[in-house]
Amino acid sequence: MAEIMKKITVALAGNPNSGKTTIFNMLTGARQHVGNYPGVTVEKKEGLCKYAGFEMTVVDLPGTYSLTAYSIEELIARNFIIGEQPDVVVDIIDASNIERNLYLATQLIEMNVPLVLAFNMSDMAKQKGLLFDIEQLCELLEAMIVPTVGNKGKGRVKLLDAIVETAQRGKKERTHIIHYGKEIEEELEKVEKLLAREHELVEKYGSRWLAVKLLEQDSEVTAKVHRKEVLDAVTAGTEHLRTIFGDEPEIIMADRRYGFISGACQEAVKSTVESRHSRSDMIDAVVTNRILGLPIFLILMYLAFLLTFKIGEYPMGWLERFFDWAGTTIIAFWPAGSESWFKSLLVDGVIGGVGGVVVFLPNILLLFLAIAILEDSGYMARAAFIMDRIMHKIGLHGKSFIPMLIGFGCSIPAIMGTRILENRRNRFTTIMVIPLMSCGARLMIYALIIPAFFTEKWRGPMLWLIYLIGIVLAIICIKVLRLTVFRGETTPFVMELPPYRMPTLKSVCIHMWQRGWMFLKKAGTIILAISIILWVAMSYPKPSRQSLAGLSSEQARQTALAYSVIGRIGRTIEPALKPLGFDWKIGTALIGATAAKEVFVSQLGIVYAIGGADEKSHTLREKLQANYTPLTGFCIMLFCLISTPCVATVAMTKQETNSWGWALFQFFGLTTLAYVITLIVYQIGSFIAG
């Protein structure tokens, strides 16, 4: 009785000249026939192969560099894979030109087909000095990889085994291993949600692939979608992306795929000679150099901080004078001899609190401008790659540094950004240390303290130093956490290295202003509300007139402050803060900073404005300079850098870890660490100074 063989269909895809025909001949031998695809004069080759109880129908698809459906060959290959749904797609890759050939593989991965990668001409790749970490590439690309030499018949059995194993495993859901960046991913998510009602299309193509093709303005896919709301969202999304990037979404997405490929090759290919982006590679030879990479990164960040203060000093001074003028003008026009709680609220609460924060808007905009240029040019991805070597040694992948970089803007989106890390241990570890990255809110504290206590030539270095301390502490904490709480192996990820692009003025300005506007909205809502609450707490209850009789205006002011709710709280916690060099005024500002870090500045503005705002009032920086030492100023920055994140960050940590336990662990752990380190620094500094 004849053996009943299981039938499977295998599609061979690949670039022209990748050796696809030799692999086809190696698998099928003489059992093949040639015809045409229905309706077109493009040659269609099919062959039979019997192996391990399977009868394989092997279809040799037209050679193509991509599946964008620009040419008839691309359209045929894509339609066959989607329409016929072969049991396995084998992508034949010229291993000696790995980066160029992997572009088609990324598109097949996006189609979520059962995939095997045949690294053909592996002998030529070896001659060119290329060494592949096949195991790691399999994990990164989520597909089996088999080295072959088609013209010598090498790798045939292993390739057939891989085909059988993949066919038996069937279709599986892949992770979205190619991340297109925040703006594009947001548009993809919008389109995917709207596609939910297109049941037949989604079932056939998958919502992710459909959304990608729609944003790429693929005419074949667009013609299949009839819902107006979907098409309108795609039109709006593509227009938005053109505005942001100054280029077509399709080009940007192609760059991201090449970035993924380049990152994969950096991870798993020992010596690559592929020069798809020769200019990018020439720059990378310097900026990602094993010796030069880290110093270059530190120098660039130092220059960004130096320019933040150098250029920002002028508009910051203008804003300071404006708010000072606004306060004195209100006082001057207020009816003489009349005391009003509303005047105090307006001058001390609103102008002293919110105005004291808004003056740092120029510094915020300039720092975000520098970061936007580094991000849009493609350098920030290199920064993550540079840190990869360090991160591997402490138990994380370099990709964890990407959310940490986002943390320089704000901890909340940075914590959300850890979603790109699939491994739970890596993700939770990264979340715990993200607050150690100096967010934009802390920049306001630094911008207040540094000019108050340090000369102009030391301002850039001091800001650079405080950011560097945060990074170093994060690295130490990661190592400790991975050795204790989050023990386990580190899983590999691709470091995406997009080609360098000249940032467009429009894109950089949009990114800068988006962050600046978020800060202004926060100043006009959260900080305003907290400033008013703090003003009330610092103004009431008031001491009796008898207790103030005979005191000077400054003595009366201090007595009134001490008698208020905030004063009483501050006096209670002062003994615990005194070893750090802090008095009760700094202590109350630190309590306010728990709600939002910027409130530290507004709180001090209110403290030093209550009862003291008049025509001769000095700026907040001058008042701090008169009351504290540079060592205390440095310790304030250090404590604010390390200590408890704001309430919103704690809430986001709870949401992303799904546990109040981890959120409170982060809250109290960082506060304790801040206290211990600041205590050591202040006591040693005082000993040396004394």
Q: Is the pLDDT of residue 522 over 90?
A: no
pLDDT at position 340 is 66
Mean pLDDT, residues 559-588? 85
* Residue 352, pLDDT above cutoff 50: yes
- State how far Cα 297 lies from the chain centre: 17
| Mean pLDDT score across all residues of the chain | 80
Q: Which of 69-73, 317-321, 630-634 has the lowest mean pLDDT?
A: 69-73
Q: Is the pLDDT of residue 63 over 80?
A: yes
- Cα–Cα distance, 524 to 199 (Å, whole number): 45
> In this predicted model, what pLDDT tens digit does every residue of 479-495 receive, in sequence order?
899 888 887 766 555 55
Q: Give residue 594's pLDDT.
A: 77
CA-to-CA separations, 23 to 20, 96, 120, 121, in angstroms, rounded = 5, 16, 8, 10
- Distance, in Å, from the CA atom of 397 to the CA atom of 32, rounded to the nearest integer, reads 47
Higher local confidence (pLDDT), 7 or 505: 7
Contact 89, 102 (CB under 8 A): no
CA 67, 72, 73: angle at the middle one, nearest 5?
Answer: 60
Q: Quick check: 250 pLDDT over 80?
A: yes
pLDDT of residue 272: 45
d(CA 248, CA 242): 6
Phi-psi sector, 12: left (phi>0), alpha (psi -120 to 50), beta: beta
Quote the pLDDT of residue 543.
81
Average pLDDT over residues 554-567: 75
**Residue 258 clears pLDDT 50, i.e. is over it:** yes
Establish how many alpha carbons lie within 13 A of residue 644's alpha carbon, considering only the half-sphere containing its beta carbon. Answer: 20
Q: pLDDT higher for 602 or 226? A: 226
Kindly provide the residue ranges of all beta strands, DSSP E only, lying in 127-249, ordered along the sequence: 144-147
pLDDT in tens, 135-189: 889 988 889 999 998 878 899 999 999 999 999 988 776 665 688 888 898 899 9
> Within 487-610, where are the H helices?
505-524, 526-539, 545-548, 553-563, 565-577, 584-593, 599-607
Of all residues in the chain, what percent carry a pLDDT higher than 90? 19
**Winning range, highest mean pLDDT, from 436-450, 460-474, 558-572:** 460-474
Strands 32-36, 43-51: pairing kind: antiparallel
Determine contact, residues 117/91, Cβ cutoff 8 Å.
yes
Of 371-385, 524-538, 602-616, minimum mean pLDDT range:
602-616
Look up residue 367 and give its amino acid.
L
Q: Whole-angstrom Cα distance, residue 118 to residue 101?
A: 11
- Digit-coded pLDDT (tens) for 27-47: 887 666 555 545 544 567 888
Of residues 357, 404, 437, 408, the one with CA closest to residue 600? 357
- At 640, the pLDDT band (50, 70, 90 cuts) reads very high
Q: What is the mean pLDDT of residues 504-530?
A: 72
Higher pLDDT: 428 or 354? It is 428
Q: Which residues contact 607 (CB under 8 A, 6 or more apart)?
A: 538, 561, 585, 588, 589
User: What is the dihedral sign for C-alpha 560, 566, 568, 574?
Assistant: negative
Q: How would DSSP label each residue in 318-331?
A: HHHHHHHHHHHHHH
Residue that wins the pLDDT comparison between 198 and 434: 434
Q: Which tokens in the block code for residue 665?
A: 């662990």
Asked whether residue 514 carries a pLDDT value surpassing 80, the answer given is no
Domains and CATH numbers, the chain: 6-169 (3.40.50.300), 182-285 (1.10.287.1770), 297-689 (no CATH)
Distance CA 240, CA 235 (A): 9
Predicted pLDDT of residue 612: 40
Mean pLDDT of 380-401: 74
The predicted structure's pLDDT at residue 613: 36
CA dist 58 and 60 (Å) reads: 7
The amino acid at residue 686 is S
* Mean of pLDDT values over 410-416: 72
Buried b (16+ CB within 10 A) or exposed e, 521-545: ebbeebbbebbbebbebbbeeeeee
Question: Is pLDDT of 269 > 80?
Answer: yes
Q: What is the pLDDT of residues 661-672, one digit of tens each?
A: 998 999 999 999
Confidence label for 90 from pLDDT (cuts 50, 70 and 90): very high
Q: β-strand 88-94 against 115-120: which pairing, if any?
A: parallel
Is the per-residue pLDDT at 553 higher than 60?
A: yes
Residue 22: what pLDDT?
83
Looking up tokens 């396995």 gives 88
Task: Indicate the pLDDT class of residue 57, thresholds 50, 70 and 90.
Answer: very high
pLDDT at 683 over 70: yes
Whole-number Å distance between alpha carbons of 104 and 257: 10
